[in-house]
Each structure stands twice: as C-alpha cells, then as structure tokens.
C-alpha cells in the first residue's frame, strides 16, 4: 500500500515537473521572444524575466536584440566614369519588431539574404552615379550615408532598423590592377630615364664649364708667370747693367766665375777648348785684359780636362 502511494506520488511529481517545464520559459536581457501557437505568433515578449505559456500547445522562438552584422561578399561595381571596382561592405542592424521580423523573414539567415540583396542594389545605384575619385576622397562618407539611408528605408518592412552600412574596401579588379601597375611602372621608368638623361646633360655641362675654367685659369697663370719672368729678367738685366757700369772688370770677372761654376758643375765634364780661348782669360791673365798668354800645355800634349 505504501509502495503504491509512493509510486503514484513520484509519478505526480514528475508530471508536475514536466508540466512546469513546458509552461515556463526565461527571456534573457539580450533577447526578445515570440510565443507561437501551432506555428502562428500569439504575443511578443520584450521584457526579460520568467514567462508562462500554454504547455504542449505553444512554443517560443528567441531573437537577439543586440547589434547584428551582415557581411555580403565583395561585389564588382561600375562607377559613373566606367571604372570597375570591387567593393567590400558590411551592415549593422537591430531587430525592433520581432513579430514583423518573424512574419517577413523568419530567421537571421533569412534577413541576411534579404539585406545582402538590398545592399547590393543600393550600392550599384549610388556608386553608379559617382566617379572613382569620389570613393577616394572625403565624398566617400556621403556615399556611405546614401547607401545606409536607402537600405534602412527598404529594410523597415522586415521589422529591423539598419544602424549603419559602410564600405570597408574599394579596390580595382585584379586584371585592372595589374594593368595599372604595369603602366605606372612604365611611366616611372620613362621618368627615371628622363631624369638620368637630364642629369647626364647637366654633368656634361658642369664638366665642360670646369674644363673651360681650368683652361682659362692655366692660361692666366702662364701669362702671369711669363709676365713675372719678364719683369724678373728686366730687373736682373738692370742690375747687371748697373753693376757693369760701376766696374767693368769686376763684372766681367764675376760673370766668368758664374760661367765656370755652371759649366764645370758635373763630375766628369770634358771641354775641348784652345788654351788661349777667351773662356780662360782669367786663368791666363788675372787682369782679364784679353792679352794672349803662353800655351798652358807643351806642344803635342792633350788639352786639359776638367
């Protein structure tokens, strides 16, 4: 008897637990819930906490009420100046009407596909009216605002609020980039060749000017040297003339000594001269009067060597 009562009580408790588990649900503060009855929405639950539902008849679906991201794949777009661009975008949205959201798109995967189509359409429409330069300048922010406003207006029917839509990157297609890089490389090479040619021409001009200046400087130096030599020779001639005027015999004697020193400077110098030559006038006659002296060597002997 007691065992039967215990089993019955346990069965009742299990049934009550199952009933409570099917009747209660918790809504997190980051979520909103929608109560469905046989697949049809009954009521939304937007406040967090413990809620009740009819067991085995109603079920609950949850939606994240935080900011959600949609990142469409990069898409090729043609600008107004017929430039092709590969644009990468992302969109952030928030679910503001769970009931409408469930009725129109159902899940986040469903709204992701719809937003991708909206962003693609708006992107082509806005970028197709702007040149490439607009995407590379401060006008890019204005273009992103236009895309965001257009997507936001079209996405209200999904029960969501599009917070932001931005262009992450805007690149040229691979084949266009390679062609542009090749052209840029060619232009840079041509410019480098032009700079090298101008540099070589400038260097040649500098060398020519330097050579001309060197020639002029050397010519001026040689002219000054010749002039100074001439002045020195004139001064020496004047000094010699003055000395000759003071004492002719002493001047002749001094000049002869200078001639001896110069002519006999070598160690093995040999002269073949007549003994009564005027070169030896001061050897034969100390007065140097030019009188003929006796031969220095007897007949038949060899001339003197020094």
- DSSP assignment of 136-203 equals TSTHHHHHHHHHHHHHHHHHGGGTEEEEEEEEEEEE--HHHHHHHHHHHHHHHHHHHHHHHHHHHHHH
Q: How far is CA 22 from CA 9, 17, 34, 51, 112, in A?
A: 20, 8, 15, 11, 31
Residue 27 counted as domain residue: yes
Sign of CA dihedral 44, 49, 51, 56: positive
Residue 211 counted as domain residue: no
Question: Do 44 and 137 have their domain in common?
Answer: no
As for how many domains the chain has, the answer is 3
Main-chain phi, psi angles of 8, to 5 degrees: -65, -40
Residue 188 counted as domain residue: no
Question: Do 93 and 133 have their domain in common?
Answer: yes
Mean pLDDT, range 79-95, rounded to an integer: 89
H or E stretch at 84: strand 84-95
Q: Pick from 68, 69, 51: which is nearest to 60 by CA?
A: 51
Instruction: From 155, 172, 189, give the residue that closes a domain.
Output: 172
Tell me which residue range forms the domain holding 38: 22-64
Please name the residues in contact with 303: beta carbons below 8 A apart, sequence gap of 6 or more: 271, 272, 273, 275, 297
Question: Do 242 and 160 have their domain in common?
Answer: no
Decide the pairing of beta strands 84-95 and 68-70: antiparallel
Specify the pLDDT at position 246. 76
Please give the model's pTM, rounded to 2 decimal places. 0.53
Mean pLDDT, range 5-28, rounded to an integer: 75
Better-scored residue on pLDDT, 20 or 228: 228
Per-residue pLDDT tens for 23-68?
788 888 889 898 888 888 888 888 888 888 888 788 888 999 899 9
Question: Do 100 and 138 have their domain in common?
Answer: yes
Contact between residue 34 and residue 97 where contact means Cβ atoms under 8 Å apart: no
Contact between residue 147 and residue 123 where contact means Cβ atoms under 8 Å apart: yes
Please name the residues in contact with 35: beta carbons below 8 A apart, sequence gap of 6 or more: 41, 42, 43, 44, 45, 51, 53, 58, 59, 60
Question: Do 49 and 137 have their domain in common?
Answer: no
Q: How many residues does the chain have?
A: 306
Question: Do 56 and 41 have their domain in common?
Answer: yes
Question: Do 73 and 159 have their domain in common?
Answer: yes
- Give the other-Cβ count within 10 Å of 292's Cβ: 10
Residue 240 counted as domain residue: yes
Question: Do 144 and 50 have their domain in common?
Answer: no
Question: Do 81 and 58 have their domain in common?
Answer: no
High-pLDDT (> 90) share of the chain, %: 30
Question: Do 44 and 116 have their domain in common?
Answer: no
Instruction: From 129, 149, 172, give the residue that closes a domain.
Output: 172
Specify the pLDDT at position 275. 67
Instruction: From 64, 98, 115, give the residue that closes a domain.
Output: 64
Question: Do 98 and 160 have their domain in common?
Answer: yes
Question: Do 154 and 129 have their domain in common?
Answer: yes
Residue 224 counted as domain residue: no
Per-residue pLDDT tens for 161-206?
999 999 988 887 777 667 677 778 888 889 999 999 999 999 999 9
């Amino acid at each position: 008897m007691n065992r039967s009562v215990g089993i019955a009580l346990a069965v009742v408790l299990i049934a009550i637990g199952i009933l409570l588990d099917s009747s209660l649900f918790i809504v997190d503060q980051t979520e909103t819930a929608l109560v469905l009855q046989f697949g049809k929405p009954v009521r939304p639950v937007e406040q967090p906490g413990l809620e009740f539902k009819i067991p085995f008849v109603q079920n609950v679906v949850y939606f994240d009420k935080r900011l959600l991201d949609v990142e469409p794949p990069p898409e090729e777009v043609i600008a107004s100046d017929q430039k092709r661009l590969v644009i990468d975008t992302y969109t952030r949205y928030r679910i503001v009407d769970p009931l409408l959201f469930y009725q129109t798109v159902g899940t986040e995967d469903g709204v992701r596909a719809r937003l991708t189509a909206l962003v693609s359409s708006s992107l082509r429409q806005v970028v197709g009216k702007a040149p490439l330069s607009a995407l590379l300048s401060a006008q890019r922010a204005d273009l992103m605002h236009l895309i965001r406003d257009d997507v936001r207006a079209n996405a209200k029917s999904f029960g969501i609020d599009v917070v932001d839509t931005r262009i992450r990157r805007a690149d040229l297609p691979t084949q266009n980039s390679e062609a542009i890089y090749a052209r840029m490389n060619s232009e840079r090479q041509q410019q480098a060749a032009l700079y090298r040619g101008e540099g070589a021409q400038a260097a040649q001009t500098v060398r020519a000017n330097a050579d001309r200046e060197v020639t002029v400087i050397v010519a001026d130096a040689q002219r000054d040297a010749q002039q100074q030599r001439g002045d020195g020779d004139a001064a020496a001639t004047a000094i010699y003339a003055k000395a000759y005027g003071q004492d002719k015999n002493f001047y002749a004697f001094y000049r002869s000594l200078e001639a001896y020193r110069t002519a006999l400077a070598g160690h093995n110098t040999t002269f073949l001269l007549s003994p009564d030559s005027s070169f030896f006038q001061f050897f034969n006659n100390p007065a140097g009067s030019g009188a003929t002296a006796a031969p220095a060597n007897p007949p038949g002997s060899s001339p003197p060597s020094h």
